[in-house]
Structure 1
Amino acid sequence: MTPIFELCERYVDQWSTLDPVAASSTGITGTLGTATDYSPEGIDARADLIRQTLAELDTRQAHTHADRRAAAHLRERLEAERAWYEAGEAHRWLSAPIGLLMHIRVSIELMPRETEQDWQRIRDRLAAVPTMLHGWRTSLTHGHAHGLTAAHRQALAVAEQADGYAHGTHQHLVDAHSGPLATELQRAADAAHTAYAEFAQFLRQDYAPHASTTDAVGEDRYRIASRLYLGSDIDPHEAYAWGWDELARIETELATEADRIHPGATIEQATEHLNRTAHVASEQAYHEWLRYWHDWALDTLDGTLVDIDPRLRALDVTLVTDPTAGSPYYTPPTEDFSRPGRTWWPIANRSRFTTWNELSTVFHEGVPGHHLQLGANRVHSHTLSRFSTITDVSGHAEGWALYAERLADELGWFTEPGTRLGMLTSSALRAARVVIDIGVHLDLTRPDGTRWTFDNAQEFLRDRGRLAPHQVQPEILRYFGWPGQAISYKLGERAWMNARARAETRPGFDLKDWHTTALSLGPLGLDTLATELDHIDTTSG
């Protein structure tokens, strides 16, 4: 192991010790601690580790190309995270529906349940929820005392989410275990549920009255956040203008596709027709539909434009009953593949599920999207640093997943009625995210001269982003509380498409080789990605 790779390995070990909740969700294997310390002291410890690792990285020399790439990725990620910590963001971290509260719950859901020792670890983490929430509460109070407060809207939304968790979010784990730990599991789950309720009360009564009434974070904080999610210092004003142009381009294509579905039909009329005719009528039928298309994509893609490692053939599909959950998401396999990759599908109290607009999301979350790309990080662990195998950059990952939807279109996969309209609708949503996210947080004007508000952002996402009604409110809430992440999809896709377009101009270009090599590079910030993809040899043979 080279000195650079050794430093990456040591950082992962030390980070896992300081943040076992994130480590277990990420797929770190081995014996992990029970709880993450979210108090100011825990925050300082993680920030100090970043600073110490960067200082040590300055003393180590890269001798190989793999070393250089590993060092560049470690530096880029840690510098972006250091800026986030130094801006005080960890002391005002409140976001819903995706945020720290959800991360705690998901870390418990992902824990193994095979042996009695596994159940002991679940019991211990459940029992630690009150301590973790108390530490988080202390940090939020510390942040408020130093002028670092989250938005009032996010405080109330996380309180509502915590109240939802308090009503038995972990009870199914207790019900699934009939062994000697049953009583202790019940006691730990009850304590966790009580802690969620108390945290919700703290947010409503103590924190929200003093929280910021402004949703926007401003340009300085936004640049820090967007760097964290993109691995690139963008010009947000250029990206805002590009987002409007991209949305207009997609809407033109949407109109053409609607006319194909029903000659003379508007996009709205075609959508209404598909909502009536392209759906399944039960949770079981929805799960079976999802399972079929996940398997179909795996079988169809393998050996054509990419070779899929046999260890990635295992892919779980899970329905999510949490009513506050918004969009589908993906969690990668563990380092040793003992836990497979998994796609998660919120059902939001529905009993009827449209399918025409979800097929592209199957390809986005599964194959050729996140499962193929993030799974490749595990597959290539013998050539990547350990830090590279367990991290990702949102612009890299989400950009690839959107590229995967376009690739599916190139391959002619959207043959079911309305599914290509669904793919274009999905693309319109991602373009709408760019203009909403940047427009809200930089307080930019819209083309009609008005400013962004929570209400008109919902209307815009519904009418121009064409999102399903049950998803609109949690999606907008997500953008308002998670600045910089929503733009990573479209701007990441732009980076991947531009890189491929440049590669196609080189003699002997082979798309399968390009995919294979690109996935073998591991996660990279968008600036580094462009450099690496411009210098790889993808000629066949």
Structure 2
Amino acid sequence: MTPVFALCARYVTDSAALDPIAAGIRGVVDGFVDATDYGPDGYAARADLIRSTLARLAELPVTGAPDQRAAGHLRERLEAELAWLGTVDALSLRAQFGTLDAIRDSVEVLPHGSDDDWRNVAARLAAVPRMLAGWRDSLDALLDRGMPAARRQALETAALADRYGDGIHSPLLTEYADGPMADELAAAVEAAHAGYGDLATYLRHHYAPRATETDGAGAERYAVGARLSLGSDLDPAEAYAWGWEELRRVEAEMALEVDRIRPGATVEEAIALLNETEYVVGTDAYLAWLQERHDQALVTLQGTHFDIAEPLRRVQVTLAHGSAAGSAYYTGPSEDLRRPGRTWWPLGGRERFHTWGELTTVFHEGVPGHHLQIGACRVAGDQLSRFAKFSTVSGHSEGWALYAERLADELGWFTERGTRLGMLMGSAMRAARVVIDIGVHLDLPLPDGSRWTFDTACDVLLRRGRAQPHRVRPEIARYFGWPAQAISYKLGERAWLAAREAARARPDFELRSWHTKALALGPIGLDNLSLTLAELD
């Protein structure tokens, strides 16, 4: 192991000790630690670790291409994260995929097998009030420094905390039943639920009155968020104009697809028709449909357009009961591969599930999307640094997942009625994300000269982005609270497609080989994506 690779491995270990919640969700296996310190000292310790790691990196010899890639990726990611830690956004006070969700999800991803496993579950649950108390201290510290988050995000998170406090972890008691840890587990569940309730009270009555009414991040914070999400600096004016252009392009393609479903119909009429014919009823049927489609994609791709390692030939579909997320998401295999890759599917209060619109998300979250991409890092052996195996660049990962949807279309996989329209609607939603996110946070005008509001953003996502109605409000709340993450999907897809087109110019280009080699490189910032992938041997 070279000194650079050794430093990367050491950083993962040290970072996991300081933030075991994030490490566990990513799948790092470094022993169990019950809690992350979300208090001011905890954030300061993580910033200090980054600074000391960057200082050591600057002194190390870098030899050969793997070292250069590892050192460059470590440096770029740590510098971007250090800048982000200096903003209020680092506390992740947001209604979706924020600190509260990370704590909740960290319980769900723990093994639930042996009594020792359940002892860890109980310890994690018992630590929830302590973690949330530390988080409150950090939020107060930034308030005292004149760095408030948006009031909207505080109230949305309070509502989510209330929902969690009403019994989000109670199913664990039924799952474990009457084992020797039953009393300890029950007490820990009760403590966690009480902790969520205390957080809701704090956010609603203490934090929200001191929060800002302004939703937009502004240019400075947005630039930091864009660098973190894209691995690249952003030209917001160019991206905003391109987003509107891309949205119009996808809308034109949707109109042609609608005509194939019913000649002369509008998009709304086609959606209504499909909703009445292409669905399953009940969570059991939904779960079975999802798992079948995941399994079918794996079987179809292996040995044709991808070389899929044996440990990755399984994706576990999980219904995310109680989740407030507006969309499905993925968690990768653990480092030791004992925990499988999982896709998580929020139910959104539904009993009827429109399958025609969800097939494309199977390809996005599962195969050939996130599961192949993140899984390839897990099985890369000594070809990737340990840091590269567990770090991400959202533009790279979400761009790949959108590319995976596009690839599924190119391979002719959207044969069931309405499923190709579902793919195009997903693409329209991601294009709408670009204009909504940049427009809201930088206060740019809409084409008609009006300004963005929460209601305007919801209307654009529903009418132009064609998002499913149950997803609109949580999606917009997510964009408002997570500056520059929403743009990573479409801008990342644009970079992946450009990289593939550049690679196609080589006389020896072969798609299966290119996919395998591209994924084996691990995460790459959009600054270097096209050049790096175009030059693959």
Paired residue total: 536
User: How big is each residue's C-alpha offset from its partner over 1:128-184, in whole Å with a ceiling of 9 and x where there is no partner?
Assistant: 001000000000000000011110000000000000000111111122112111001
Q: Hey, what does 1:355 align to over in structure 2?
A: 355
1-structure distance, mates of 2:220, 2:455: 25
Helix, strand or coil for the counterpart of 1:176? Answer: helix
Residue 339 of structure 2 is aligned to residue 329 of structure 1: no
Shift of 1:531: 2.7
Q: Per-residue displacement from partner, 1:498-525 (whole Å, max 9, x unpaired)? A: 0001111111211111101101100111
C-alpha distance in 2, partners of 1:104/1:467?
A: 28
Contact 2:439–2:452 (CA<8 Å) still a contact in 1? Answer: yes
CA distance in 2, matches of 1:225, 1:213: 20
Residues 424-443 of structure 1, C-alpha deviations (whole Å, 9 max, x = no match):
01000000000000000000
Task: Give the AA of the match of 1:412.
Answer: G
Paired residues of 1:316 and 1:340 also in contact (CA < 8 A): yes
- CA deviation vs aligned residue, 1:445-493 (integer Å, no higher than 9, x gap): 0001100000011011010011111110000000000111000000000
Give % identity. 58
Quick one: distance in 1 between partners of 2:40 and 2:390?
25
Instruction: State the 1:32 CA deviation.
Output: 2.7
Whether the 8 Å contact between 1:5 and 1:385 is mirrored in structure 2 is: yes
* Paired letter, 1:286: Y
For the 8 Å contact 2:295–2:314, the answer to whether it is kept is no
Q: How does 1:376-415 map to 2 (within 5 A)?
A: 376-415=376-415
Displacement of 1:526 after TM fit? Answer: 1.1
1:524 paired residue number: 524
Q: Does 1:203 align with 2:203?
A: yes
2:330–2:341: 8 Å Cα contact kept in structure 1?
yes
Letter in 1 for 2:256: T
**In 1: Cα distance, 2:312 partner to 2:513 partner:** 19
Note the alpha carbon deviations across 1:358-378, whole angstroms, 9 max, x for none.
Answer: 100000000000001110000
Aligned partner of 1:418 in structure 2 is 418
* Aligned residue number for residue 5 of structure 1: 5
| Aligned positions of 1:84-483 closer than 5 A | 84-90=84-90, 92-177=91-176, 178-322=178-322, 324-483=324-483
**What is the identity, as a one-letter code, of the residue corresponding to 2:285?**
A
The question of whether the paired residues in 2 share the 8 Å contact of 1:17 and 1:32 is answered with no
Deviation, structure 1 residue 93: 3.0
Q: Provide the TM-score with structure 1 as the length reference.
A: 0.98
Q: Secondary structure at the match of 1:334?
A: coil
- Provide the C-alpha distance between the structure 2 equivalents of 1:212 and 1:490, rounded to a whole number of angstroms: 30
Query: Contact (CA 8 Å) 1:15, 1:49: kept in 2 or not?
Result: yes
Q: The residue matched to 2:7 in structure 1 has which SS?
A: helix
Q: TM-score, normalised by structure 2?
A: 0.99
The amino acid across from 2:141 in the alignment is H
Q: 1:336 is aligned with what amino acid?
A: D
8 Å CA contact 2:7–2:57 kept in 1: the answer is yes
Determine the C-alpha separation between the residues in 2 that align with 1:413 and 1:93: 37
* Aligned twin of 1:67: 67
Q: Which amino acid aligns with 2:423?
A: M
In the alignment, the residues of structure 2 paired with residue 376 and residue 403 of structure 1 have an alpha-carbon distance, to the nearest angstrom, of: 16
In the other structure, the counterpart of 1:508 is 508
What secondary structure sits across from 1:526 in the alignment? Answer: coil
Partner SS, residue 29 of structure 2: coil
> Secondary structure in 2 aligned to 1:342?
strand
SS of equivalent residue, structure 1 residue 319: strand
Gapped regions of structure 1 (runs ≥ 5)? none
Question: Residue 161 of structure 2 contacts residue 197 of structure 2 at CA under 8 Å; is this kept in 1?
Answer: yes
**Does the 8 Å contact 1:112/1:118 carry over to 2?**
yes
Partner of 1:493: 493
**Residue segments in structure 2 that go unaligned for 5+ positions in a row:** none
Deviation of residue 323 (structure 1)?
A: 5.1
SS state of the match for residue 527, structure 2? helix
Deviation string 1:178-226 (CA, Å, 9 cap, x unpaired) is 2111001100110110010011000010000010000000011001001
User: What is the aligned partner in structure 2 of residue 39 from structure 1?
Assistant: 39
Q: Which moved more, 1:156-165 or 1:274-283?
A: 274-283
Amino acid in structure 1 at the alignment position of 2:440: V
**CA contact 1:323–1:349 (8 Å) conserved in 2:** no
Q: Are residue 50 (structure 1) and residue 50 (structure 2) matched?
A: yes
> Alpha-carbon deviations, 1:295-349, whole Å to 9, x = none?
0100001111111111001211011121522100000000111000000011111
Would the aligned equivalents of 1:306 and 1:512 in 2 still touch at CA under 8 Å?
Answer: yes
User: What letter corresponds to residue 467 of structure 1 in structure 2?
Assistant: A
1:230-269, CA deviations, whole angstroms, 9 ceiling, x for partnerless residues?
A: 1000101110000000000000000000001111112111
Instruction: Tell me the distance in 1 between the aligned counterparts of 2:358 and 2:427.
Output: 12
Partner amino acid, structure 1, of 2:50: I
CA contact (8 A) 1:381 1:389 kept: no
- The amino acid that maps onto 2:102 is H
CA distance, structure 2, for counterparts of residue 397 and residue 150 of structure 1 = 27
Letter of the aligned partner of 2:126 in structure 1?
A
Give the secondary structure class of the aligned counterpart of 2:357. Answer: coil
Worse overlay, 466-475 or 24-33: 24-33
CA contact (8 A) 1:16 1:32 kept: no
Aligned residues of 1:151 and 1:214 also touching (Cα < 8 A) = yes
Letter in 2 for 1:525: G
Three-state SS of the structure 1 residue aligned to 2:381 is: coil
C-alpha displacement at 1:287, in angstroms? 0.8
Partner letter of residue 20 of structure 2?
A: P
SS of residue in 2 equivalent to 1:527: coil
What is the one-letter code of the residue matched to 2:184?
Answer: E
Does structure 2 retain, via aligned residues, the 8 Å contact 1:257–1:421? yes
Q: CA RMSD in A?
A: 0.9
- What displacement does 1:88 show? 4.6
Spell out, residue by residue over 1:13-55, the C-alpha distance to the aligned partner (whole angstroms, 9 max, x if none): 1000000001110101131311000000000000000011011
SS at match of 1:429: helix
8 Å contact from structure 1 (residues 95, 482) kept in 2:
yes
